C-alpha cells in the first residue's frame, strides 16, 4: 500500500496557528463510518452525539516544556533539543538540531546551570543525552524549557496551559493529545450527567506519534515505542463496558492506540491494571478490538494518524470528509477543529 494514497491538498491558511479563546467553540465534523454521511456541528454539541452507556476514554498525560535552546561547547553554534522520553535518571531520549553537527560526544550548554552530553545516536535520528546540573531538574526545565509546539505553528503561544488538556495529570509528553484540548470541566460534567462514563488512560506522546513517514510503502513504516499506563479503576470501567456491550469512545489517536494495545489482554479474560511500551501501528486492514468511535482532530497528509482514522472509517470516507472540511474552511491540526467518527 503506497503512502501517497493518503495524501490530500491542504491550503496552508487552514493550518490553525492559535487556539480559539473558548475550548468548546471549535467546529465538529461528524462522520458515520458505515455510510460515510457527514454533518457539521460545534464541539459543545459532542454531548448530543454521545449516548447513555457510552464510555469516553481520555489521555491524561501532561506536556513538559521539552524544547531547550543552547549552544554547542567549543563552537558556540546554536543547538536545539526536543526531549522525547526519560530513559532513566538524568538520561533522556531526544531529537536535536542541527543533527549533522551534534554527534556522539558533543556537549550542549543551556546557560550556566544546565548542560548535556550526547551519549549515543539512534537509527531514527534520535539521541541519548545525559544532563548535569545544580538543583532540581524539573524546576530548571520549567524555567528554561519551552512548550514543544509542532513546527507548522509559527505563532507564539501566550498561555502555556492552552497546550494542555484541562484534565492533564501525569507529566511526560513531548506533544499534547490535541483532541482533548476541546474539552472543559463543564462539558465533561455535562457528558457525565447524560449517563456517559469518563475514564482515563496515560500515553506519553513521543516520536511515535509525530515522526514523519520516510518510506514509500505503508507496511514498511516502523513506529517508535511510547509509554502507556492503565490503572485498575479504568480497567474495571472497560471490563464493565465490554460486558454490557457499551460503546467505547476514544478521545484522540493516543487513547485509541493505547486501548488497542491492551485489547489483546481481554482475550484471556478481564483486563487488569497494566503499563508498558507500545509501537502499535494502525492502518487499513486492522481489525479494532476495543474502540468503537473516535474523537480526533484533522491530521497531516500522508501521516500515520490519517492511516489510523482510515482504518476505522475507511480511506474513501476519510478523504471525502477531509475534502469537505477543506471546502468548509475547517481549521486543521493541533489547534484546529475536531471530528467525531462513529
User: Does residue 125 register a pLDDT over 80?
Assistant: yes
The arithmetic mean of pLDDT across residues 294-298, rounded, is 98
- What is the predicted pLDDT for the residue at 18? 96
C-beta separation of 299 from 252 below 8 A:
no
Tell me the backbone φ, ψ of residue 170, rounded to 5 degrees.
-100, 115
Contacts of 166 (CB under 8 A, 6+ apart): 23, 183, 184, 185, 188
156/291: higher pLDDT: 291
Quote the mean pLDDT of the chain. 95
Higher pLDDT, 110 or 213: 110
In the structure, what pLDDT confidence band is assigned to residue 113 with cuts at 50, 70 and 90? very high
pLDDT of 209 > 70? The answer is: no
- Structure pTM? 0.92
DSSP label of 44: G
Q: Residue 305: which pLDDT band, with cuts at 50, 70 and 90?
A: very high
pLDDT at residue 266, rounded to an integer: 85
Contact present, 298 and 142 (Cβ < 8 Å): no
Q: What percent of the chain has pLDDT over 70?
A: 99
With bands split at pLDDT 50, 70 and 90, how would you rate the model's confidence at 210? Answer: low
Using the CB atoms, write b or e for 234-272: b if 16+ within 10 Å: bbebbeebbeeebbbbbbbbbbbbbbbbbbebeeeeebe
Whether 105 has a pLDDT exceeding 90, the answer reads: yes
Task: Establish whether the linkage from the previous residue to 157 is cis, with ω within 30° of 0.
Answer: no
Lowest-pLDDT range of 193-202, 214-223, 267-276:
267-276
Is residue 337 a contact partner of residue 22, using CB atoms and an 8 Å limit? no
pLDDT higher than 90, residue 101: yes
CB 122 within 8 A of CB 84: no
pLDDT confidence of residue 207: 72
Tell me, what's the pLDDT at 200?
98
pLDDT, tens digit, 9 for 90 and up, residues 232-266: 999 999 999 999 999 999 999 999 999 999 998 88
CA 22, chain centre distance (Å): 21
DSSP state of 231: -
pLDDT in tens, 43-87: 999 999 999 999 999 999 999 999 999 999 999 999 999 999 899
| CA–CA separation, 168 and 60 (whole Å) | 5
Phi, psi of 223 (to 5 degrees): -80, 150
Amino acid at each position: 500500500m503506497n503512502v501517497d494514497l493518503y495524501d490530500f491538498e491542504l491550503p496552508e491558511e487552514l493550518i490553525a496557528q492559535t487556539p480559539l479563546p473558548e475550548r468548546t467553540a471549535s467546529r465538529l465534523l461528524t462522520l458515520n463510518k458505515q455510510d460515510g454521511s457527514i454533518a457539521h456541528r460545534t464541539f459543545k454539541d459532542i454531548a448530543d452525539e454521545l449516548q447513555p452507556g457510552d464510555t469516553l476514554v481520555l489521555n491524561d498525560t501532561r506536556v513538559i516544556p521539552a524544547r531547550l535552546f543552547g549552544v554547542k561547547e567549543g563552537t558556540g553554534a546554536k543547538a536545539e533539543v526536543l526531549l522525547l522520553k526519560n530513559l532513566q535518571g538524568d538520561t533522556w531520549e531526544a531529537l536535536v538540531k542541527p543533527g549533522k553537527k551534534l554527534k556522539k560526544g558533543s556537549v550542549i550548554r543551556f546557560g550556566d546551570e544546565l548542560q548535556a552530553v550526547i551519549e549515543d545516536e539512534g537509527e531514527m535520528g534520535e539521541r541519548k543525552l545525559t544532563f548535569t546540573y545544580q538543583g532540581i531538574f524539573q524546576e530548571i526545565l520549567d524555567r528554561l524549557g519551552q512548550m514543544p509546539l509542532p513546527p507548522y505553528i509559527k505563532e507564539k503561544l501566550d498561555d502555556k496551559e492552552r497546550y494542555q488538556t484541562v484534565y492533564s495529570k501525569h507529566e511526560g509528553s513531548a506533544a499534547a493529545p490535541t483532541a482533548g484540548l476541546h474539552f472543559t470541566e463543564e462539558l465533561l460534567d455535562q457528558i457525565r450527567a447524560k449517563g456517559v462514563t469518563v475514564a482515563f488512560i496515560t500515553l506519553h506522546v513521543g516520536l511515535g506519534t509525530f515522526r514523519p513517514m520516510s518510506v514509500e510503502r505503508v507496511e514498511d513504516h516502523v513506529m517508535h515505542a511510547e509509554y502507556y499506563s492503565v490503572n485498575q479503576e479504568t480497567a474495571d470501567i472497560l471490563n464493565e463496558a465490554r460486558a454490557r456491550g457499551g460503546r467505547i469512545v476514544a478521545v484522540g489517536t493516543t487513547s485509541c492506540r493505547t486501548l488497542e494495545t491492551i485489547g489483546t489482554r481481554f482475550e484471556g479474560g478481564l483486563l487488569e491494571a497494566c503499563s508498558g511500551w507500545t509501537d502499535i501501528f494502525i492502518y487499513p486492514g486492522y481489525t479494532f478490538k476495543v474502540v468503537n468511535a473516535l474523537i480526533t482532530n484533522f491530521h497531516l497528509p500522508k501521516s500515520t494518524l490519517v492511516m489510523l482514522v482510515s482504518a476505522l472509517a475507511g480511506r474513501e470516507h476519510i478523504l471525502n470528509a477531509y475534502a469537505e472540511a477543506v471546502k468548509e474552511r475547517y481549521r486543521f491540526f493541533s489547534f484546529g477543529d475536531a471530528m467525531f467518527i462513529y
